[in-house]
Structure 1
Amino acid sequence: MGKSQKKRSMRRHNPMRVPDSHLPHGLASASASSSKSEAILPIMQKMESVDAAERKWACVAVSNLIQNDPSTRRLLQGKNIVGALITRLSDSEEEVVVEAAGSLRNLCIDGGFDICAEMYNKNILAPLKTFVPKISGTLSQFLASPKDAPENAQKLVYEFADNVITILWCLSETSNKALNAINQISLVPFLMSFLASRDNLPLSTVTSAAQCLYVLTDENRPIIEEVRTNAEYTACLLAAVRSTDTPAKANGKEKDTSDARASAFRVLCCGILRNISPIPPPSIAATVDLDRDVVLPTLEPVLTSIDLGEATQAAQHAIENQESIPQLENLSLKNTPKSDHKTTSELELERLETRLRTVQLALETLTGMCATLPDPEVFGGGSEADADAADGVDEENEDDEAMDDAQDIDMTAEDASPATQTPQPPAFFTSLVTPLLRLVQPTALSFPPLGSPSPHPPTTSALSSIHISALECLNNIFLSLSTSLGGRPSGLAPENGRMVFDAVWRALAAVGTDISGPGQERRKEMWDIGVGVLWGVGNVWKGALVPTAEQVQVLVQFCNATTDISTKVKTIGALECLAQHPESVDANATISSYLLSLLPPSATPPTPTEPLLQAVSALIDIYSDETLPYDVNFRQGRYLDALVRSVEGVRKAVRSVDRKKERELRVRGEEVRDNLVAFIQYRRGLGL
């Protein structure tokens, strides 16, 4: 195998919940595509009004206008809405401050990195820093004497805290400069106080605190050390994961929302624990095998907690039945809805998004774990199954359920029959791989239609994030298997490999190959990661995957089209694995001819060094056994002559790699060059 795919970690926050890349750039185009452009001027005027009610109205109007509307958001940005709202954070009226924070929060979530960077550059951290101790002091008073605080005052503070925390969470992902500045605010005690008092605070605010801490502990050494070395903090996180309590007063849809948020909270705490592990004594968390006893038992059920097809149908129903949002001209100053005002359909869509994002969060945590796959029995309790088998326990029913799981997504081998059943795969295959393969399958709302926006961008963003995160998990699972377990772990029959390959291919086929247009960045990301999964699967079951003409053709076209070096390498790796099915002589000829076309001197323009080395390595691997049926292509096609002609070009490519700047690539290049010369000598010596 050539250079392996990188075990890339996912970003914790989707860069843009309401994507706008499908829109043309510039204020003129934003004004032309926005149906609310005439409302911008009144908002900006009232933002500076001497009347506090008008200033509050303006802040609320911003949230109402930008909802799922990137054109209006861009237009407001062009009028310096960010600067105006940051100014309102120092307003003399508390309600104006709260609403300004709410609008800034919504801009952060919907607008992504660009708006967050603008906020940081306009010094939003200055007022935010002053809010942290004020919120802490007020919360301490509420918790000490809850009966002395009016309910509406508590609600105002909780919502304000939620807004401030969410802004800090989004800003922390904007840049290293912003992250370093946030590290100086001493947020950990502030955020952990919400988690410690979770039974007495609104779940939504506590979950926001957990989300912020989850992001801050993602490869951020100062915060990691601060949390992991505090035994009280780690014990609190462990207790939060193990707790199954949900608000007792909740019922109906409110209970559904509470259950979804409670699940999200536990998943976030799992993610924090993994971010800060290993945890040192004397914390009680140091005595626990986090992956086996805490993280997996919590996260594995989340993967099957939602059916993406049913969730899509529910979202489509809610979209079709959306109530109209109050028009700006009908909003009176006395009866202005708050910035978090939502209709029934919007609340249902928000509940669905919360459930989808929880699955995405679980996948992100599992992705890191799968990069170093533990012993197979860790996944799905394989050791207990082995013990039952040793005791003579009948596992027929369990096997039937496992097969049903696979059949639900139509992944069994077509020629399987009761008389020729293959051994069941290891436990982690059923408990982890099968749910992941379901989660990579796109739905009707997973990607925007070509050339137009999604009917509900937040749902589309959440669904596409799940597919991509699930592919990341699969990528790391099979990369780990192919590298750490010698390529062919026992118990993984060829049918398992074909099942996985076909399921991933089916998902990519559903995504389609039209991935270069504006707004289709997530489709492209699916393919970029998906070919890595195909390569990993191909390496584990090399020679067992039967290629189809369509698969070969599409992969060749994709390899030619992509400009990303890493993706090109992965695609060549996937083709190499497909070429090694012994009986697929025609497919082998097509793939090898393509790989030869990438070699000098025939490649025009010249193939970049890394893909070139992968192509050379692939040809050596494919034809290292002259007894295989497809070796006839090597002899009849005079491939040896083509390889001889390529030697000098390969040498030049390797020499062009800077030893100091790209040492790893230079070492690999020299190895491939030497292997090529040795392979030519070997094939000449055969005299075939």
Structure 2
Amino acid sequence: MGKSQKKKQMRRHNPMRVPDSHIPHGLASASASSSKTEAILPIIQKMQSVDPAERKWACVAVSNLIQNDPSTRRLLQGKNIVGALITRLSDSEEEVLIEATGALRNLCIDGGYDICAEMYNKNILVPLKTFVPKISNTLSQFLESPKNARENAQKLVYEFADNIITILWCLSETSNKALNAVNQISLVSFLMSFLASREKLPLSTVTSAAQCLYILTDDNPPAIDELKSNETYILCLLSIVQADNSLNRKGKDVSDERIVTLRVLCSGVLRHVIPIRPSSIAATLDIDRDVVIPTLQPVLSSISLAETSQCVQELIAQEDSFPPLEKMTLKHTPKSDHKSPTELQLERLENRLRTVQISLEILTSVCATLPEPEPELDGNAHDDGPEDEDMEDQEDNGETENDKISSSENTKSTSTAYLPTLVDPLLPLIQPTPLSFPPLTGGVSVHPPTTSALSGIHICAMECLNNIFWSLAAPALTQTQQRSTALDTDSGVKVWDSVWNSLYVVGTEFSGLGQERRRELWYLSVGVLWAIGLVWKGLLVPNEEQIRILIQLYESTSDPVVKVKVIGTLECLAHHPQSVDANQVVSNFLLSLIPGSIQSTVTPVEPLLQAVSAMIDLYSDETMPYDINFRQGNYADALAASIEPVRKVVRGIDRKRERELRRRGEEVRDNLVAFVGYRRALLL
């Protein structure tokens, strides 16, 4: 239940670089919180001007105005800026076209899913797919005869290519419907041409191509099959990952940080396409052990989030404000990519954080060693709409069963051995900084991109820990492995305390607008705590305050999955033999969730079954010191009174629609009957 493994998704997640969830819905709210309302109308008007200089000015102005400004972005969106910019993709002036793609690119990255979905619905792919062969042909000409091309012309084409590739990658994350449409363009060979010619191209454009390829090959059989079918593609990716900064070549645009990002992305692509075909030279490698983990581990250890947060705050304090719109004359229009020295430093820091976040995303799948549960074979599974059904068919048919088994075995054999060594580098990455979340008082962070990246890192690191400890707690592990882990109680206490230290900083106020990431981290963390509790069951000394906070979390959430995680965590704490009082507090809380017992409340089905199961597990050994609570509290009578209500609840579970839940309910019901009989027979 607590496992959060990399799996097929009904809709991909395109995180917002500059979140706007702190702004109430409606244009009025956006207008009230934006200082640039009066600038919107001139932009819309000039976007349609007959003068190409004015059209270019309008496109550049969009990029400049939305910079870290979600209110203005939402206002522009309300004025159909997306449609206006898509119209400019057929502009006769080259510079207008390039600036329009730049503005759309920035809107994609900053605005995330909603804006990308709007672009897709307004048919942005129609012009985009015509650009791909044109870029490919021009790129070939430049590479074949570089001396015949003006440097400025090359720069424009590379910038244009970067914009188009970035928009395509963002669209691919938007939905399965958008991904299917992008698949029709057959981008793999196009993107690989940038990676193959990386020594002759700007590193920023090559990295964008790698990022797009990383997204396209994530649980997407058409792209995976196309990549796996070409041996040279696999060898090219391997050469990038295993190169020792070989991209430090003559010329401009050399960045160690971008080289690291490129290597991380390529290692992620390789992981997406395992198992490698046996005929490939690369098939002799254990991709996780020999390629992915050695690439990612140094990245995770290379950064201090606290120092980065402090540096960003200092840079913001000394930053000069960007030239306001009224100073942007048509003669002196700043470029949409113009950045001050301070902004360039902030961008470098953000890029480092994003590279760490991507590394954690990849590592999360490495740490997912448990098999996925089989999907229920009914037509009522949750999805985003009809478009996702096609995607599911593709995913199911994209690999042979042998490929899936081979991939699973590859992952299991590598990850289980490495799991404990990955814990220590992750613990600092779950600790929040002053910039990790928007202020509780409302509004935006002093630098939203940094805040978005930091909170993303905390969440991804927590997902890694979640997968690690659920894998270590798995029954599939041998008794020897479980015993060796559990005997190291100090390690369990260290991790447990580290997670709680993170949660204390996050705080319990996460119901307000803009605080979604705080809530998400809490909900993830409870699953981690449960898994830690299972690995070191009976060895962790319960803390009164932590028990109280967990019970409050249970009562404050309506999510039954989170409720189950809380119950599981509390049960593990109650297993500590000498903590009789804590056991009593937990047991009385569990009984309050079970129908028929004293002061019981209406409990959702899954938490109810978990509570019953927890009581059975807690008191199945009458020799434990805390068993006195069972006897003195007359728990046997309370549980006996709950048998019929539990039977009624189980009968109410739809056998067809919720087959697995019904099976579990019947098992818990039978265990409850047998347990009550066992305890009463003891005559204690």
Could you state the TM-score of these two structures normalised by the residue count of structure 2? Answer: 0.90
* C-alpha distance in 2 between matches for 1:283 and 1:376: 22
Matches within 5 A, 1:491-506: 491-492=485-486, 493-506=488-501
Task: Decide which of 422, 429, 434 is 1:432's aligned counterpart.
Answer: 422
Match of 1:402 in 2: none
Match of 1:194 in 2: 194
What SS does the corresponding residue of 1:490 show, helix, strand or coil? helix
* C-alpha distance in 2 between matches for 1:549 and 1:455: 36
Match of 1:420 in 2: none
* C-alpha distance in 1 between matches for 2:264 and 2:411: 22
Match of 1:564 in 2: 559
Q: What is the CA-CA distance between 1:14 and the residue it aligns to?
A: 4.5
* C-alpha distance in 2 between matches for 1:222 and 1:376: 25
* C-alpha distance in 2 between matches for 1:249 and 1:198: 13
Match of 1:248 in 2: 249
* C-alpha distance in 1 between matches for 2:485 and 2:648: 44
* C-alpha distance in 1 between matches for 2:6 and 2:292: 20
Match of 2:572 in 1: 577
Q: What is the CA-CA distance between 1:378 and the residue it aligns to?
A: 5.4
Per-residue CA deviations over 1:278-323 (Å, capped at 9, x if unaligned) read 0103222212111111111111111101011111111111111112
Match of 1:548 in 2: 543
Percent sequence identity is 68
Match of 2:140 in 1: 140
Q: What is the CA-CA distance between 1:375 and the residue it aligns to?
A: 9.6
What SS does the corresponding residue of 1:71 show, helix, strand or coil? helix
Q: Which runs of 5+ in 2 are unaligned?
A: 371-409
Per-residue CA deviations over 1:518-560 (Å, capped at 9, x if unaligned) read 1000000101110000000100000000011001000000011
1:291 counterpart = 2:300 = no
Matches within 5 A, 1:51-62: 51-62=51-62
1:462 counterpart = 2:459 = no
Letter in 1 for 2:62: V
* C-alpha distance in 2 between matches for 1:5 and 1:432: 17
Q: What is the CA-CA distance between 1:562 and the residue it aligns to?
A: 1.1
Match of 2:514 in 1: 519
- Verify the 8 A CA contact 1:232 1:283 in the aligned structure 2: no
- Verify the 8 A CA contact 2:563 2:607 in the aligned structure 1: yes
Letter in 1 for 2:648: K
RMSD: 1.8
* C-alpha distance in 1 between matches for 2:554 and 2:670: 26
* C-alpha distance in 2 between matches for 1:604 and 1:179: 48
Match of 1:591 in 2: 586
What SS does the corresponding residue of 1:89 show, helix, strand or coil? helix
- Verify the 8 A CA contact 2:369 2:411 in the aligned structure 1: no
- Verify the 8 A CA contact 1:13 1:170 in the aligned structure 2: no
Match of 1:474 in 2: 465
- Verify the 8 A CA contact 2:288 2:411 in the aligned structure 1: no
The structure-2 alpha-carbon separation of the partners of 1:654 and 1:542, relative to structure 1 and needing over 3 Å to count, comes to same
Q: What is the CA-CA distance between 1:77 and the residue it aligns to?
A: 0.6
Residues 484-493 or 675-684, more deviating: 484-493
1:63 counterpart = 2:57 = no
Residues 223-232 or 588-597, more deviating: 223-232
Q: What is the CA-CA distance between 1:428 and the residue it aligns to?
A: 5.0
What SS does the corresponding residue of 2:322 show, helix, strand or coil? coil
Q: Which runs of 5+ in 1 are unaligned?
A: 383-426
Residues 669-678 or 278-287, more deviating: 278-287
Match of 2:638 in 1: 642
1:485 counterpart = 2:477 = yes
Match of 2:659 in 1: 663
Q: What is the CA-CA distance between 1:249 and the residue it aligns to?
A: 4.6
What SS does the corresponding residue of 2:631 show, helix, strand or coil? helix
Match of 1:21 in 2: 21
The structure-2 alpha-carbon separation of the partners of 1:317 and 1:248, relative to structure 1 and needing over 3 Å to count, comes to farther
Letter in 1 for 2:339: K
Match of 1:7 in 2: 5
Per-residue CA deviations over 1:554-589 (Å, capped at 9, x if unaligned) read 000001111111111111111110010001111111
Task: Decide which of 448, 458, 461 is 2:438's aligned counterpart.
Answer: 448
What SS does the corresponding residue of 2:436 show, helix, strand or coil? coil
Letter in 2 for 1:538: G
Letter in 2 for 1:109: I
Letter in 1 for 2:239: A
Could you state the TM-score of these two structures normalised by the residue count of structure 1? Answer: 0.90
* C-alpha distance in 1 between matches for 2:655 and 2:91: 58
1:150 counterpart = 2:150 = yes
Q: What is the CA-CA distance between 1:250 and the residue it aligns to?
A: 7.3
- Verify the 8 A CA contact 2:643 2:672 in the aligned structure 1: yes
Report how many aligned residue pairs link the two structures.
636
- Verify the 8 A CA contact 2:4 2:466 in the aligned structure 1: no
* C-alpha distance in 2 between matches for 1:127 and 1:377: 46
Letter in 1 for 2:84: A
Letter in 1 for 2:126: A
What SS does the corresponding residue of 1:661 show, helix, strand or coil? coil
Letter in 1 for 2:675: F
Residues 586-595 or 368-377, more deviating: 368-377
Matches within 5 A, 1:26-175: 26-175=26-175
Match of 1:417 in 2: none
* C-alpha distance in 2 between matches for 1:632 and 1:141: 83
What SS does the corresponding residue of 1:158 show, helix, strand or coil? helix
Task: Decide which of 245, 250, 267 is 1:270's aligned counterpart.
Answer: 267
Q: What is the CA-CA distance between 1:248 and the residue it aligns to?
A: 3.4
* C-alpha distance in 1 between matches for 2:233 and 2:6: 28
Residues 98-107 or 170-179, more deviating: 170-179
* C-alpha distance in 1 between matches for 2:331 and 2:246: 39
Letter in 1 for 2:325: L
Q: What is the CA-CA distance between 1:139 and the residue it aligns to?
A: 0.4
Match of 1:606 in 2: 602
Letter in 1 for 2:606: E
Letter in 1 for 2:103: S
